[in-house]
Structure 1
């Protein structure tokens, strides 16, 4: 009896590790917007998010990883959260909630960087590159 329980627990653990570690590719994805204030302060950064995916392929929950007190990452998290809620993954026939970890890389380029090269990219199924030009902050002048 005890051996059967151990075997069942081992199978359950291996199954959950497989479901967590498999790389899932979204059918539909939306790139986060590069926050204006991050462009003005010339900030780049990485945000990691664990997505809980419902059986129908929609996003059930988003959990952000990394330092909670990182000012730069804090600027990017709302944009990531808003974007991934629009993602869709292939549906599954069972009631399994799947998990996928996705990395969002926010990278700035010089002001003269070609516009056509600024398109966001989905690199592999779990890394999104968000590109923008540096946007200088123009203080208002008081007359």
Structure 2
């Protein structure tokens, strides 16, 4: 399912929906979808996509992403806000890890992270650990299973 299709099925506010559609067109940070200079739009989109998967019943008003990006990873923290609640999510998107999980190797014998990113897109999160600040998580139709962060993440 595409990000736009997930957006149509979600309970996000109309203002967030408009901001998300604009982001899908131009890949730029805005008042409702904030991220820094070092956050590639494609990796921010994967993170927003995951948020829509995890919180389809939540009336999201804004999302802020503070993360670092490398060739095979995008890790940091996301803040999801509604009118009355806020939740922080520590995340680690890692296409190299996903390639290792699938047993995929490239021509040189390294984990085929390009294939994993292409085929799994948003579904390469090895960590999605919520730190609830209110009732937001309780409103969500399903909660991600927290995954402990290993030493290589720190």
The structure with the larger Rg is 1
Q: Which has the higher helix share?
A: 2
Structure with the bigger RCO (C-alpha within 8 Å, sep 6+) is 1
TM over 0.5: no
TM-score normalized by structure 2?
0.25
TM-score normalized by structure 1?
0.26
